[in-house]
Amino acid sequence: MRLRRHGDHWLLIGGPVPPGSAAITLGSVVCVRRGYVDDPRLLRHEEEHVRQWRELGKVEFLRQYLGAYLRWRRHGFGHQAAYRLIPLEVEAEAAAERFAADPGGGGDQPLI
């Protein structure tokens, strides 16, 4: 594992990542699999989670994130579908999409 400063947060390269995922963000630490550390779209997605953690705080982030996931699961959605419907994930994906569409563009978030 390697810890690298990346703008206003940290990359823990080769750090613990759930099965089937390329990365996970916990507070200001982005754990990313080695093979994905040079994927700017993925990193932009995770940077949005860093921003969400800061804005909401850990308790509120986890309440919103897990609450939405469990709500969709109770409604009968499978893991992947429930995950994709979490509003915080939708927001992170939107940020990644905006970045992918215009990697050098300004947008409302500085590119680090």
Question: From residue 18, how far is each of 11, 22, 111, 112 by CA, in Å?
Answer: 16, 8, 26, 25
Residue 64 or residue 104: which is nearer to Zn ion going by CB? 64
Q: Which of residues 21-80 bind Zn ion (CB under 5 A)?
A: none
CB of 72 to Zn ion, least distance (A): 15
* Nearest-CB residue for Zn ion: 92
CB of 12 within 8 A of CB of 31?
yes
Residue 78 or residue 104: which is nearer to Zn ion going by CB? 78
Binding mask 78-97 for Zn ion (x = CB under 5 A): -----------x--x-----
Residue 13 or residue 44: which is nearer to Zn ion going by CB? 44
What per-residue string of b and e applies to 4-19 under the rule 16 or more CB within 10 Å gives b?
Answer: eebeebbbbbebebee
Pairwise CA distance, residues 22 & 33, whole Å: 6
Residues that bind Zn ion (CB under 5 A): 89, 92
